[in-house]
Amino acid sequence: MIPFARRLAVLAVSGVLATHAFAAEAPRAVNTYLTEQDAAARANRVSNVAYILDFTLTGKPDFAGTSRIDFDLADNSAPLTIDLDKATVASVTVNGQAVAANYNQFFITIAAADLRKGRNSVVVAYTRLHSTNGEGLHRMVDPVDGKVYTYSHFEPAAAHQMFALFDQPDLKATFQVNVTAPADWVVVSTKRESAVTAAGADKKWTFPASKVLSPYNFSLHAGPYKVWEDNSGKYPMRLFARQSVASQVEPADWFKFTKDGLTFFDNYFGVPYQWEKYDQLLVPDFLYGAMENAGAVTFGERGFLHQSKSTQAQREGLAGTIMHEMAHQWFGDLVTMKWWNGLWLNESFASFMGTMATAEATEFKHAWLAFYSGGKQGAYSTDQSLSTHPIEVPVPSTANAFDNIDAITYSKGASTLMQLRHLLGDEVFRKGVHNYLEKYAFKNARLDDFIGSLGEAAGRDLKPWTQQWLYQAGVNTIAATYSCSGGKISNFSLRQSATARLPTLREQRVQVATFKREGDKLVLANKAAVTYKGASTGVPELVGGACPDLVYPNYQDWGFAKVRLDKKSFATAQASVAGVDDPLLRSMLWQSLWDGVRDGQLPLNEFIKTALANAPLEKDYTLLGSVIGMLSGAKHYLDAMQAAPAYAADTGRQMDDTGWRAVEANSGNSNFQRRWFSFYVGVASSKPALERLAGLLDGSVKVVGLEIAQDQRWSIVNRLNRFAYPGSEALIAAEQLRDKSDAGQAQAIAAQVVRPDATVKREWLAKVQDQKTTLPFSRVRVAIYSLYPVEQKSLNEASAAERLASLPAIDKAAGPVFMRSYAEMIPATCSAASIKRLDAAAAKYTDLSAGTRRALLTLREEDQRCVTISRAMTAGAPKA
């Protein structure tokens, strides 16, 4: 799966969660979740599960289903529970006998007396509402043409929002499906249908039994989807999207990336793809980025539909996501974790292999550079936060399964796998992975099984490595220490340090490189590969070389370590960053400068000056994205800290001007021009900049090469409303007349909610907090992210105390899916008073769910960082 990236994507878990010891006979708690103990107890008794699922879909808000579950039972000495969420149960039949349904809205309990040792058969007939929150069998009505679309999403444990089952990953099963649906619908599942027959005015779709799967990897999607097909590869491929957005789909890219990826993974793993066909669906209201359902992968429309031709960045995002989900088809779907504590290995591995496949099997050869400046930075920042956690942590219940969907689980894990590959060698690593997939195919596995396979291939014991990297949180800092005499290096060592709180030192293989200045260029002088452990490791290979102007101790990014540049190297980086030819090194030096800002070492105003001077010269497209991302981050901090008004206004204008000049200067290069244009729209705040935006919208301002398509129009309308530009509110209604799509409706809400208007804020805060709202969750989420933009500080403050006071009650009433977004409502406004307010809340509200508490502590830490950056400013007089 790929998560939905927002501010809180950098969140991390707060320490290790306690696991409770339950007595074996303790009855299952009456709620929608399943504990690890209850799951383990059930898996001890149940095996060889086969489902026959019947669904009748009409397009109406509810659907009917019958679930037949055949399974072996080791003993019939105790009752057995079957998961089924909020259904109306019509009948329960056990081994051919109708029984009274013992159902509590979360699970059905089958009495011991009705069960027998050996083979059992349970049939549950029920009706249920479709969900509207993106889990279970989600239903959406297209506002453009009234057509109804459904799709399933189950991870971590939402299959029981659709049918009756044992909803846990280690009870793999076969799934045979029959669906009655309207005649113009297409139905997609793990396998291709074996028959479609007329059933009155409807059609009946029959799907043969699948190979064994964990329930969360099974899926069923149905609706009048538009279908594209491509049979030019080894496996048949299809792509699906809603009819009304079909013109936004670029199927050629989809099929090319998919076909090349399947060839790459077949070869790399040495185990062929097991799900026979490869279907991919673009679906509305999706909670996440994408989901690896076996043979029927879902993608959120929001991330992959664009109203003008895709940019290189958007195409690369698509390729990377396709590869990530494809890697899961082996790692996750074919071999599956036993319980949710193993989710990280799925995600780490898919992130790592997805990046490798993107780099090696698509045109995006620099995918590792994008990983460095994207996911890996999130991992560094999370791993340095107080609320970081080890990669491997216990998960007591399905309520906590997604507590760790963060940069540690995805990107630190991927970085440690990358490091392990450098440590063991490419071929040994590949062989270990192959052996693991072969040995555990169609089974469940634990971390020790994976590490064992790699260790066996390498002929070494990886237990110490596993302890250091997977069970201990925190990132080490590495720094070079050296001295020179007579212009030559006379001694050189690599020093590793840890914090007092997380003191583990680790073994790691990196490259250390030295550089000399030649004119305005920075040129590689020497490099050495070093496997270091402990506090200090000598690097004799570098002794005798020319005394360097810059030393970079993690050259080419093999290692996962925070790099501290020595003083001379930092000064060289600041002066010569644009004179580095190698884009990855240039990216790393930019990162060192930005880290300097975030740690309070480099004044923000100095960084802004360097970045504004150098960004327009940046010729690498990926790196340009990361540098202007840092500049946007700098603007965010400036707005948050309320820097001295004259300085803030002047710097804001400089950003506007730099952005606009670059939009005009890049008229011959659409990718660069659009990258600069989105920067411009994101920072525009001065009157002339907003006037220009209004002009672009009404056509009075034009730039050669720049197309203002519907996506761009909405981003302009949003920006103008965010600053209450005269006449901007009327633009929302006008734009809705042009764009009646689902995306347009969401954009209209965002533009309305983002307005600096106390009444609007009050009204929408109440809607967001209303647990009984009829708004689909996808709309609620849009409102949450639009309510309090950084510069609307007094509006944010106006309800801050109320939002904190109501947090415990909302946390209790809502589930983790809602809270992951709602955590955005925790007020953090970059001041000593705000930090104090968060401290008081953390002390008082000790009962919050793990995820919400972590969000609170992480925001408190970010608030502190903002204040530190503010104090380190040397221009103007910031207030914090």
Residues known to be catalytic: 325
d(CA 282, CA 223): 12
What number of CA atoms fall less than 13 Å from residue 409's CA on the CB side?
A: 23
d(CA 816, CA 852): 8
Q: Smallest distance, Å, CB 288 to Zn ion?
A: 9
> What totals of helices (H) and strands (E) does the chain contain, helices first?
29, 28
Q: Are 164 and 123 in contact (CB under 8 A)?
A: no
Q: Which is nearer to Zn ion, 11 or 597 (CB)?
A: 11
Q: Which is nearer to Zn ion, 344 or 436 (CB)?
A: 344
Site string for Zn ion, 336-365 (x = CB under 5 A): -----------x--x---------------
Respond yes or no on whether the N-terminal peptide bond of residue 156 is cis (omega within 30° of 0): yes
DSSP lists the bridge partners of residue 481 as: 493
Q: How many CB atoms lie within 10 A of CB 349?
A: 23
Q: Which is nearer to Zn ion, 331 or 590 (CB)?
A: 331
Q: Smallest distance, Å, CB 262 to Zn ion?
A: 17
Q: Which is nearer to Zn ion, 1 or 46 (CB)?
A: 1
How far does CA 94 lie from the centroid of its chain? Answer: 42
DSSP string, 536-557: EEE-GGGTTSBPPSEEETTGGG
d(CA 67, CA 87): 12
Q: Which is nearer to Zn ion, 340 or 676 (CB)?
A: 340
Q: Which is nearer to Zn ion, 3 or 65 (CB)?
A: 3
Q: Smallest distance, Å, CB 351 to Zn ion?
A: 7
Q: Are 136 and 211 in contact (CB under 8 A)?
A: no
Q: Are 92 and 154 in contact (CB under 8 A)?
A: no
Q: Which is nearer to Zn ion, 1 or 123 (CB)?
A: 1
d(CA 771, CA 567): 54
Q: CA Rg, the chain, in Å?
A: 28
Q: Which of 1, 565, 795, 848 binds Zn ion (CB under 5 A)?
A: 1
Residues in the chain, overall count: 880
3-state secondary structure 212-258: CECHHHCCEEEECCEEEEECCCCCCEEEEECHHHHHHCCHHHHHHHH
Q: Are 3 and 289 in contact (CB under 8 A)?
A: yes
d(CA 353, CA 78): 44
Q: Which is nearer to Zn ion, 59 or 261 (CB)?
A: 261
Q: Smallest distance, Å, CB 350 to Zn ion?
A: 4
Site string for Zn ion, 632-661 (x = CB under 5 A): ------------------------------
Q: Smallest distance, Å, CB 404 to Zn ion?
A: 13
What number of CA atoms fall less than 13 Å from residue 123's CA on the CB side?
A: 10
Q: How many residues bind Zn ion (CB under 5 A)?
A: 3
Q: What Å distances lie between residue 355 and 352, 379, 410, 830, CA to CA?
A: 5, 15, 12, 35
Here the tokens at position 578 are 């644009």
Tell which residue, 168, 166, 212, 159, has the closest CA to residue 190.
212
Torsion sign (Cα): 374, 437, 341, 508: negative
Torsion sign (Cα): 291, 297, 299, 304: positive
Q: What Å distances lie between residue 753 and 674, 691, 719, 789, CA to CA?
A: 26, 21, 12, 10
Report if residue 405 touches Zn ion, rule: CB under 5 A: no
511: part of which helix (H) or strand (E)? strand 508-518
Q: Which is nearer to Zn ion, 13 or 615 (CB)?
A: 13
Contacts of 732 (CB under 8 A, 6+ apart): 717, 721, 748, 751, 752
DSSP string, 599-664: TTSS-HHHHHHHHHHHGGG---HHHHHHHHHHHHHHHHHHHHHT--HHHHHHHHHHHHHHHHHHHH
Q: Smallest distance, Å, CB 265 to Zn ion?
A: 14
Q: Which is nearer to Zn ion, 347 or 595 (CB)?
A: 347
Q: Which is nearer to Zn ion, 173 or 350 (CB)?
A: 350
Q: What Å distances lie between residue 559 and 494, 532, 556, CA to CA?
A: 13, 11, 9
d(CA 303, CA 4): 9
496: part of which helix (H) or strand (E)? strand 488-497
Backbone angles phi and psi of 788, in degrees to 5: -130, 75
Here the tokens at position 354 are 């997805």
Q: Which is nearer to Zn ion, 1 or 451 (CB)?
A: 1
Q: Which is nearer to Zn ion, 444 or 786 (CB)?
A: 444
> Where in 716-755 is the site for Zn ion (CB under 5 A)?
none
SS3 state at 723: coil
Q: What Å distances lie between residue 488 and 240, 492, 549, CA to CA?
A: 63, 11, 12
Q: Are 344 and 390 in contact (CB under 8 A)?
A: no
Residue nearest Zn ion, CB atom distance:
1
DSSP string, 794-821: HHHHHHHHHHHHTHHHHHHHS-HHHHHH
d(CA 65, CA 84): 11
70: part of which helix (H) or strand (E)? strand 62-73
Interface residues with Zn ion (CB under 5 A)?
1, 347, 350
